[in-house]
Amino acid sequence: MDEMAVTQSVVDAVADRVPDGRVAVVHLEVGRLSGVLADAVAFCFDVLAQGTPAEGAALEISQPPGVYRCRACGTRMEGDDLLRLCACGSAELEVVSGTELRVTSVEVREDA
């Protein structure tokens, strides 16, 4: 995935919603099965935020694990790869979570 484009979208979304404020912290959720490298997003954030309300803001990234449910036996399990087998031997796994890619909240500085 193009982490620079993802990061630009995050910065643009924050700037659109806080046009007159100064952002202190952006909270971002990047699921471990999303295909997005959280470290690369963090690396790009400071550069892409320059000249926007998010300039100088901290970026806090949470990385929820992948959670699967076996369609054959109903077992739930965690894992960070898309190629898995259930303990029952089934490969029919449904991804329940871990694909998230969203801004969960934005903190605005009081001096804004």
Per-residue pLDDT of 6-62, as tens digits, reads 999 999 999 999 988 799 999 999 999 999 999 999 999 999 999 999 999 999 999
Which pLDDT score, from 0 to 100, does residue 1 have?
A: 62
Q: How far apart are CA 62 and CA 32, in angstroms?
A: 10
Is 69 buried (19+), middle (13-18) or exposed (0-12) by CB count in 10 A? middle
Domain segments of the chain: what residues? 3-64+97-108
CA-closest candidate to residue 106, choices 40, 7, 32, 17: 17
Class of domain 3-64+97-108: alpha beta
Mean pLDDT (whole number) for 89-102: 95
pLDDT bin (cut points 50, 70, 90) of residue 81 is confident
pLDDT tens for 54-72 read: 999 999 999 999 999 999 9
pTM of the model: 0.85
